Amino acid sequence: MKTQHTAYSILDLALVSEGHTLKQTFDNVLELAQHAETSGYTRYWLAEHHNASNIGSSATSVLIGYVAQGTKTLRIGSGGIMLPNHSPLIIAEQFGTLASLYPNRIDLGLGRAPGTDRETAQAIRSDFMNAAHAFPDELEKLEMYFSKENAHANVRATVAEGVEVPFYILGSSTDSAHLAAKKGLPYAFASHFATTYLWQALDIYRKEFKPSKELQQPYVMAGVNIIIADTDEEAERLSTSLIRLIVGIFTGKRQYVQPPTAMTPDLQEVMKNPQVHQMLKYSFIGSKATVKAQVKEFIEQTKADELIAVTNIYGAKERIRSFELFAEIMKELN
């Protein structure tokens, strides 16, 4: 008998497709979020990245506000804000403001990676490496700014004090698993691209978890790549855009999301590359029936409380369709 209910959510980088403007990209983000709201998704997160022409979510908090304004009940948040890029005071002010505008709907997912190249990280914050090493301390500063007790401090984020914004710790290795467990916070693992340490990180988090006022039991979110279409063949065709994105990452030649093509022998060879194969290990591509079996197995193995899905597809309509089918799968599995 199945007793576990698995929530399902969306992680979006606001990827820019070839031939699309940023305005079109942002409008497509909002349209997808609106469809997600009616399809039973729990949350819609936007990820912070910089100096990448094919990623539109660099001003993450601004885009969160845009999506929150255009939706009504869906939780909107960051997956995540890369805290070492920022002053904790500024993030507290931004998210305190967002949560006052959209009460009980704003999430603050936090990571320690730069979300960009080394040179850009230095341009964002000259002491980035020190801030990255001090991530636990920076997190405590952020918590302090959101606390009512900070009302008596000399330095305050007045718009954040006492405002309800749940924190989530993001990870792609084992470091943040220890921190999330120690703090008693939900843990989101980036298994949609960083697959190597998934099992080790989940084991650490669950074994070391200490209950907190925010959370009594461990709460695991796991990232997955999802491309679903009416047939396996059509999903495979749509996935060629993702493969070309991955090639761009490995070659350093990032480009806009390319229109899908027929699967070629060259692209099939790329998928067999050990690095690519490992990176896309938890990518579920196919018809609804095909992906349902894969997702069911992944949930049974990870016992994740929530799946957060990434769908890198060129066309907005096909992307919406993929997420609608994923919602159907999750409803059936629940």
Where are the domains positioned within the chain?
Answer: 225-334
pLDDT < 70 positions in the chain: 1-3
Q: Is residue 240 within 8 Å of residue 315, measured between CB atoms?
A: no
Q: How far apart are CA 57 and CA 47, in angstroms?
A: 6
Beta-strand ranges (E) seen in the chain are 7-12, 43-46, 75-82, 106-111, 167-171, 187-189, 220-228, 283-286, 306-310
CA angle 311-314-318, nearest 5°?
A: 70
Q: How far apart are CA 156 and CA 80, in angstroms?
A: 23
55 DSSP 8-state letter:
B
Q: Is residue 67 within 8 Å of residue 29, measured between CB atoms?
A: yes
The answer, as to whether pTM is greater than 0.85, is yes
Q: Is residue 227 within 8 Å of residue 233, measured between CB atoms?
A: no
Structure-token pair, residue 282: 């938890």
Q: What pLDDT does residue 1 have?
A: 37
Structure confidence by residue, pLDDT tens digits, 197-245: 999 999 999 999 999 999 999 999 999 999 999 999 999 999 999 999 9
Q: What pLDDT does residue 116 have?
A: 84
Q: What pLDDT does residue 2 have?
A: 47
Q: What pLDDT does residue 61 have?
A: 98
Instruction: Report the largest interatomic distance among the alpha carbons of the chain, rounded to a whole angstrom.
Output: 65
Q: Is residue 66 within 8 Å of residue 77, measured between CB atoms?
A: no
